Amino acid sequence: MFEETPHIRQKLRVETTAKSLFLLMTVFIIIPLVLIVTYMIYKASPVLSLDFLLSKPIRGMRDGGIWPAFLGTLYLVLMSLCIAAPVGVMAAIYLNEYAKDNWLTRTVNLAVINLAGVPSIVHALFGLGAFVIFAGIGRSILAAALTLAVMTLPVIITSTKESLAAVPMSFREACWNVGATRWQTIRGIVLPNSVSGMLTGFILEVSRAAGETAPIMFTGAVFYKAIQEGDLFAYGLLDQCMALSMHLFTISTQVPDVPEALPYATAVVLLSTVLAVNALSIGLRVYIRSRKKW
Amino acid sequence: MITRKQWTTISEFLIETTIRICGISAIIFVFGIFFFVFREGAGFLFSKWEPLKFFFSTEWYPTSVSNKRYGILAIIAGTASVTVIAMTIAVPFGLGAAIFISEFCTGKLKEFLKILIEFLAAIPSVVWGFIGLMVMNPLIIDLFRVPIGLTALNGGIILSLMAIPIIVSISEDALKAVPDSYREAAIALGITKWQMVYRVLMPAAKNGLLAAVLLGVGRAVGETMAVLLATGHAVQIPGSPLDSVRTLTATIAAELGEAPVGSDHYQVLFVIGIFLFTITFVINLTAYLIVKGIRVQHGES
């Protein structure tokens, strides 16, 4: 056996200290997440119910539920997905299947990274300048959804690109060898084999878009809008709408004397929606990995 | 009559063209963002903009009746102070967690921690702001015995929690990119894990770690709703972390709704937007070049 010299003991002591320090740091990041979520649910519990979700705010938003805001968020998110998904998927197809390694491709990659890094409030300024004023759409669900779509485009491009890259090259080569064109190969072989990976990207886009506030603040979201309870088609494309994130901002800063539980409950609904959607995306990813055939 | 073969060729051409246009859409949008923000702010930028006063005056009185003044020095100081506080917390904790997740744990625990970090990244900024306003505010008042808890410290802590997931995931990628042969060689020499991290991995991954920190800074500078709710919104150069501050992003978010479209005030807010866009563009470009530098170094194409 080796004998433990003081030097080795010292070394191992440092090792243990370092390891526990890193563990501690990780735990310190996780703890706030758990504490905050628990605390918020506790504070929200008095009003949290299905009724809260399905009824509209009353008495100047000091009572009642969040239905118009919830429905507005649903509209914004689905519309932004409908806009961003086709463009993002095609962009990813271009980057992964067509692009050669040249300056244009590098510029596109740089642009994707930059688009993801642009502050949300600058996206809001862009949406206001381009869609609301220049295109003349006005403050509306459409303008807000377009702004959200531009903002979340990098999420879709990145995740779709990854799932396309995961399809083995031999699949494509086999298809080309039987005489299929590039697009036929993509449609018949590449897309069907990467569709579930793309789905995780779409879900992630939904989670991002649902939480955003700044980009929709000046492009289509309003403080209050009266709609019929339970009416799923209450908003038109060019209407302004309420949104969960905006509603949380409004009732926690702009409206005086709101009972404490209301903003907490709104925050919990927003947070759990976003986290649930995110969990769905993670679950799908794990499922795909476990079923991978090649 | 178009034969089937011709039809295939035509539709293939149409689809490829669409794909190519969508392919460069990211470039179009980045230019579009710059163009449209610039377009709205141009009126002020070319006629009344005084760069010296704009950047070096602390007097921000956009709605004064007699003498409107647009100096953003105090607001820049606000953004800088919350960013510095956020990074002081986020860099050590983010790097520490990345090293722990990447090097010290394996299997289920690793997956679990990565998922938790992903959840942390998914929390919407307005919810973070709400936490700053409702949870941290009373906490800071109690702890430091100050009259108001909406301070640079509050915003900094919230921002650090928002920047940590980015720092963790990008640092972890950087550590993962270090070839395993480095680790094997180090272990063969009989050194401990910590020595390997400190002497081998950190020097080898230092560019990637730097990029991670830079992207964290970019996130902190650009964050809007969280700082709007948590920092107290006072235009002043902070003397301590317990002073209220206002950031560039929060200024735009708070005042754009009230500024009449086309007025000087409205245009100045767009000029601030151009400034913000430029800062984050430079940060992202630098991070991109650093990461690209690593690829060249490791011999990947």
Enumerate the residues of chain A whose CB falls inside 8 A of the CB of residue B104. Answer: 19, 22-23
In this complex, do B225 and A218 lie within 8 Å of one another by their Cβ atoms? Answer: no
Pairwise pLDDT comparison (A245 vs B296), residue with the higher score: A245
Residues 144-183 on A with a CB inside 8 Å of B are 150, 153-154, 157, 181-183
Mean pLDDT across chain A: 87
Interface size between A and B, measured as CB pairs under 8 A: 259
Structure confidence at residue B294 (pLDDT): 64
B182 near A CB under 8 A: no
Facing A126 at nearest CB: one of B12, B23, B37: B37
pLDDT digits (tens, 9 = 90+) for A206-241: 988 998 999 999 898 888 877 777 677 778 888 888
How much is the pTM? 0.90
Nearest chain B Cα distance for residue A151, angstroms: 9
Name the band, by pLDDT with cuts 50, 70 and 90, for residue A6: confident
Instruction: Give the helix/strand (H/E) hosting A57.
Output: strand A57-58
Q: ∠A234-A236-A237 over CA atoms, to 5°?
A: 145
Find, among A50, A48, A68, the residue nearest to A58 by Cα.
A68
Facing B229 at nearest CB: one of A101, A117, A253: A253
B297 near A CB under 8 A: no
Q: Which residue of B has its CA nearest to A36?
A: B131
Structure confidence at residue A1 (pLDDT): 56
Find, among A101, A64, A215, A85, the residue nearest to B292 by Cα.
A101
A27 near B CB under 8 A: no
Residue type for B199, please? Answer: R
Pairwise pLDDT comparison (A11 vs A245), residue with the higher score: A245
In this complex, do A14 and B192 lie within 8 Å of one another by their Cβ atoms? Answer: yes
**C-alpha distances in angstroms, A102 versus A98, A99, A199, B59, B75?**
12, 8, 29, 48, 41
Enumerate the residues of chain B whose CB falls inside 8 A of the CB of residue A263. Answer: 130, 134
Structure confidence at residue A181 (pLDDT): 85
Instruction: Give the helix/strand (H/E) hosting A144.
Output: helix A141-165
A191 near B CB under 8 A: no
Structure confidence at residue A14 (pLDDT): 87
Two tokens at B101? 């997740």
Enumerate the residues of chain B whose CB falls inside 8 A of the CB of residue A278. Answer: 118-119, 122
Residue A69 has pLDDT above 60, yes or no: yes
Residue matched to tokens 């964050």: B223
Nearest chain A Cα distance for residue B143, angstroms: 17
Residue A17 has pLDDT above 80, yes or no: yes
Residue A268 has pLDDT above 60, yes or no: yes
Residues 66-85 on A with a CB inside 8 Å of B are none
Nearest chain B Cα distance for residue A198, angstroms: 16
Domain borders along chain B are 4-47, 69-297
A132 near B CB under 8 A: no
pLDDT digits (tens, 9 = 90+) for B191-218: 888 889 888 999 999 888 999 999 999 9
In this complex, do B161 and A29 lie within 8 Å of one another by their Cβ atoms? Answer: yes
Cα B220 from Cα B161, distance rounded (Å):
10
Q: What share of chain A is helix, strand, coil (3-state, %, to 5)?
A: 75, 0, 25
Q: Which residue of B has its CA nearest to A30?
A: B116
The residue count for chain B: 301
Residue type for A190, please? Answer: V
Residue from B8, B18, B21, B29 whose CB has the most chain A CBs within 10 Å, to mutate: B29
Instruction: Identify whether the C-beta of residue B136 lies closer than 8 Å to the C-beta of residue B157.
Output: yes
pLDDT digits (tens, 9 = 90+) for A75-130: 999 999 999 999 999 999 999 988 888 889 989 999 998 998 899 999 999 999 99
A254 near B CB under 8 A: no
Residue A281 has pLDDT above 60, yes or no: yes
Name the band, by pLDDT with cuts 50, 70 and 90, for residue B238: confident
Domain borders along chain A are 1-31, 50-291
Q: Cβ–Cβ contacts within 10 Å for residue A13, how many?
A: 11
Residue B295 has pLDDT above 70, yes or no: no
Facing A93 at nearest CB: one of B19, B122, B281: B19
Enumerate the residues of chain A whose CB falls inside 8 A of the CB of residue B230. Answer: none
Residue B300 has pLDDT above 50, yes or no: no
Residues 216-255 on B with a CB inside 8 Å of A are 218-219, 221-225, 229, 249, 252-253
- Cβ-proximal residues to B205 (8 Å cutoff; 6+ apart), any chain: B171, B174, B175, B177, B178
Two tokens at A188? 């018949």
Cα A209 from Cα A114, distance rounded (Å):
18
Architecture in CATH for domain B69-297: Orthogonal Bundle (1.10)
Nearest chain B Cα distance for residue A229, angstroms: 25
Can you tell me the mean pLDDT for A249-273?
87
Can you tell me the mean pLDDT for A159-186?
90
Structure confidence at residue B301 (pLDDT): 37
B189 near A CB under 8 A: no
Structure confidence at residue A143 (pLDDT): 94
Two tokens at B43? 């009126």
Instruction: Give the helix/strand (H/E) hosting B246.
Output: none
CATH of A50-291, one of 3.30.67.10, 1.10.3720.10, 3.40.50.1860, 2.40.30.20: 1.10.3720.10
| CA neighbours closer than 13 Å in the CB half-sphere of residue A206 | 19
Can you tell me the mean pLDDT for B94-114?
89
**C-alpha distances in angstroms, B261 versus A6, B257, B267?**
74, 9, 8
Can you tell me the mean pLDDT for B158-169?
92
Structure confidence at residue B159 (pLDDT): 94
A248 near B CB under 8 A: yes
Nearest chain A Cα distance for residue B75, angstroms: 15
Q: Cβ–Cβ contacts within 10 Å for residue A84, how many?
A: 28
Structure confidence at residue A257 (pLDDT): 78
Mean pLDDT across chain B: 88
Residue A203 has pLDDT above 80, yes or no: yes
Can you tell me the mean pLDDT for A136-152?
92
Structure confidence at residue B81 (pLDDT): 93
Cα A101 from Cα A92, distance rounded (Å):
14
